[in-house]
């Protein structure tokens, strides 16, 4: 395609303007009720993130006339594209904006097409990249991972894919950019797709990975297909954005089911019953049982009203598996790529309701969901003075006392922090003799610091990076050389 020619220049903007003038209600109906896709762009320095977004905005007629004039002026002065208008400047900021010296960690850009509204979390700058990405990714539906066709997959490509996966993004578009610089070579595109699938996607759990060969500079396959890559018959980048399914936030939460009972009516049937406490599970999914860590695939999802293909939050189901693994009441089923923490030493917030004060070292029963485990508190970190909110040291927790303690269980629990999953993160304390409920607790974190970002209440990014590194070391030993902040 020729650099910035725009076949339908003004068409959609014009259409919208006409509609506003003629029939405001029809306009609102058409545009306000579009669904909204949030996406995030990631790539190494100079892969062409800004050019791609600039091209997307330009070719979909999102640029106002005055902006365009400023863009032409700036391109001549500071652009990197010679005679052509440098569309990257649209995203990197026009001179007037740059002069104000505004630095934004994550800029959200908003645009709309005939089919959808979009929010782009643009994460400029390469320093503190992880931090920017984490902020942007926390609300994104789709991650766009840019790869420079000449450079191929880099350590950054792996790292960014890993991080967006950890942050719960399940849909990815891998845009192989700068195809014009590899003579639009199909073999290069095919090779990079294969490498991405084998070296990255197979280690992570994305529900969809799309590949699209583009030239952000010249516009091929961004909004229009162009003629340079007749061998590619798939959707353009824009059509992917317009058609990718938006997964609802509840469904994005990690899957959790605490086994209520093992259902064995006869020798031919063995099912595990419980209620989905978060996320979604599908027939064919691999699931992991915690605390044992054993894995199997879902054979069927049985309910009172018949079998299901998928079950969501709140569904009361019985799961059958393709493998006979040992599962008991109180075990937690999850997806292996997004497991809860497992620990027997937990930092908890405790509300004490017993007439008799809680003393560290005394034995109690702890009940969380369908599991009951014995154990004891080994430490009281502080008690909160409810009048002043001051923390004060305490040797015991009296009736109505509220505080933070460390709980040692006799057997580990799979848990999520209370703030992310109330079922998986709460428990009651039971007196072993009288069976009376003595207190209620909320799990914060495992004390041995194995907690992951997902379970971390405060967004402490330095800690987040440390944790990600730990995770990488644990799950991807061959990636241990990665410098997460690079």
- The interface region with ligand GTP, picked from 155-163, 211-219, 244-252, 327-335 by CB under 6 A, is 211-219
Tell me: is residue 177 an annotated ligand-binding position.
Answer: yes
Name the minimum Å distance from CB 43 to ligand GTP: 5
Task: Note if the bond before 291 is cis, omega within 30 degrees.
Answer: yes
**Nearest CB to ligand GTP, comparing residues 175 and 258:** 175
Phi-psi region of 361 (alpha: psi -120 to 50; beta: other; left: phi over 0): left
Q: Does 160 bind ligand GTP (CB under 6 A)?
A: no
Tell me which of 39, 40, 50, 173 binds ligand GTP, using CB under 6 A: 50
- The interface region with ligand GTP, picked from 40-48, 312-320, 321-329, 433-441 by CB under 6 A, is 40-48
**Nearest CB to ligand GTP, comparing residues 225 and 348:** 225
State how far the Cα of 71 lies from the Cα of 309, in Å rounded to an integer.
51
Name the minimum Å distance from CB 5 to ligand GTP: 16
Name the minimum Å distance from CB 76 to ligand GTP: 14
Tell me: is residue 50 an annotated ligand-binding position.
Answer: yes
Name the residue whose CB lies closest to ligand GTP.
48
Tell me which of 4, 38, 40, 43 binds ligand GTP, using CB under 6 A: 43
Tell me: is residue 125 an annotated ligand-binding position.
Answer: yes
CA 121, 126, 128, 129 dihedral sign is: positive
**Nearest CB to ligand GTP, comparing residues 129 and 366:** 129
CA 317, 323, 324, 325 dihedral sign is: negative
Q: Is 388 exposed, middle or buried (0-12, 13-18, 19+ CB in 10 A)?
A: exposed
Q: Can you name the residues that pair with 280 across neighbouring β-strands?
A: 312
Q: Is 464 exposed, middle or buried (0-12, 13-18, 19+ CB in 10 A)?
A: buried
**Nearest CB to ligand GTP, comparing residues 174 and 446:** 174
Contact present, 42 and 123 (Cβ < 8 Å): yes
Tell me: is residue 49 an annotated ligand-binding position.
Answer: yes
Q: Which positions from 389 through 448 interact with ligand GTP, judged by CB under 6 A?
A: none
Bridge-based pairing of strands 295-303 and 426-430 is unpaired
Q: Does 88 bind ligand GTP (CB under 6 A)?
A: yes
Tell me: is residue 14 an annotated ligand-binding position.
Answer: no
Q: Does 60 bind ligand GTP (CB under 6 A)?
A: no
Q: Which positions from 314 through 333 interact with ligand GTP, judged by CB under 6 A?
A: none
**Nearest CB to ligand GTP, comparing residues 149 and 438:** 149
Q: Which positions from 169 through 208 interact with ligand GTP, judged by CB under 6 A?
A: 177-178, 180-181
Tell me: is residue 179 an annotated ligand-binding position.
Answer: yes
Number of chain positions touching ligand GTP (CB under 6 A): 20
State how far the Cα of 251 lies from the Cα of 310, in Å rounded to an integer.
11
State how far the Cα of 33 lies from the Cα of 51, in Å rounded to an integer.
29
Tell me which of 9, 81, 260, 396 binds ligand GTP, using CB under 6 A: 81
Name the minimum Å distance from CB 160 to ligand GTP: 12
Tell me: is residue 275 an annotated ligand-binding position.
Answer: no
**Nearest CB to ligand GTP, comparing residues 188 and 215:** 215
Tell me which of 40, 57, 209, 216 binds ligand GTP, using CB under 6 A: 216
Name the minimum Å distance from CB 182 to ligand GTP: 10
Q: Which positions from 117 through 146 interact with ligand GTP, judged by CB under 6 A?
A: 124, 126
What are the φ and ψ backbone dihedral angles of 116, each rounded to 5 degrees?
A: -150, 160
Name the minimum Å distance from CB 315 to ligand GTP: 43
Query: Residue 169 CA to chain centroid, in angstroms?
Result: 3
Residue numbers at the binding site for ligand GTP (CB under 6 A): 43, 45-51, 80-81, 88, 124, 126, 177-178, 180-181, 215-217
Binding residues: 43-50, 122-126, 177-180
Which segments are annotated as binding site for GTP?
Answer: 43-50, 122-126, 177-180
């Amino acid at each position: 395609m020729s650099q910035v020619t725009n076949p339908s220049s003004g068409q959609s903007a014009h259409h919208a303007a006409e509609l506003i003038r003629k029939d405001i209600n029809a306009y609102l109906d058409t545009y306000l009720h579009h669904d909204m896709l949030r996406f995030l762009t990631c790539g190494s320095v100079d892969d062409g993130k800004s050019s791609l977004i600039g091209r997307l905005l330009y070719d979909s007629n999102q640029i106002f006339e005055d902006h365009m004039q400023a863009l032409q002026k700036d391109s001549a002065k500071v652009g990197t594209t010679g005679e052509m208008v440098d569309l990257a400047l649209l995203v990197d900021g026009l001179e007037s904006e740059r002069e104000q010296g505004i630095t934004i960690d994550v800029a959200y850009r908003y645009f709309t097409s005939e089919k959808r509204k979009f929010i782009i979390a643009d994460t400029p700058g390469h320093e503190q990249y992880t931090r920017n990405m984490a902020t942007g990714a926390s609300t994104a539906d789709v991650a766009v991972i840019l790869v420079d066709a000449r450079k191929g997959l880099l350590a950054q490509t792996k790292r960014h894919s890993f991080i967006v996966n950890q942050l719960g993004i399940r849909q990815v578009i891998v845009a192989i950019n700068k195809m014009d610089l590899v003579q639009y070579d199909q073999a290069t595109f095919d090779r990079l797709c294969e490498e991405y699938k084998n070296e990255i996607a197979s280690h992570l759990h994305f529900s969809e990975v799309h590949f699209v060969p583009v030239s952000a500079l010249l516009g091929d396959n961004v909004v229009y297909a162009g003629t340079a890559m007749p061998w590619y018959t798939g959707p353009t980048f824009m059509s992917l954005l317009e058609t990718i399914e938006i997964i609802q936030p509840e469904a994005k939460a990690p899957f959790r089911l605490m086994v209520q009972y093992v259902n064995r009516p006869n020798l031919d049937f063995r099912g595990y019953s419980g209620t989905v406490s978060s996320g979604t599970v599908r027939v064919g999914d691999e699931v992991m049982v915690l605390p044992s860590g054993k894995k199997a695939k879902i054979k069927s999802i049985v309910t009172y009203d018949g079998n299901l293909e998928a079950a969501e939050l709140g569904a009361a189901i019985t799961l059958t598996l393709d493998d006979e693994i040992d599962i008991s009441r109180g075990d937690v089923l999850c997806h292996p790529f997004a497991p809860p923490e497992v620990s027997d030493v937990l930092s908890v917030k405790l509300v004490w309701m017993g007439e008799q004060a809680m003393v560290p070292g005394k034995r109690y029963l702890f009940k969380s969901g369908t599991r009951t485990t014995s154990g004891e508190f080994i430490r009281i970190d502080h008690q909160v003075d409810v009048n002043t909110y001051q923390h004060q040291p305490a040797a015991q927790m009296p009736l109505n006392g509220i505080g933070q303690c460390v709980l040692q269980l006799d057997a580990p629990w799979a848990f999520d922090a209370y703030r992310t999953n109330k079922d998986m993160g709460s428990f009651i304390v039971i007196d072993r003799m009288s069976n009376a409920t003595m207190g209620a607790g909320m799990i914060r974190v495992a004390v041995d610091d194995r907690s992951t970002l997902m379970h971390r209440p405060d967004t402490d990014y330095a800690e987040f990076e440390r944790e990600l590194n730990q995770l990488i070391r644990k799950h991807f030993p061959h990636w241990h050389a990665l410098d997460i902040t690079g």
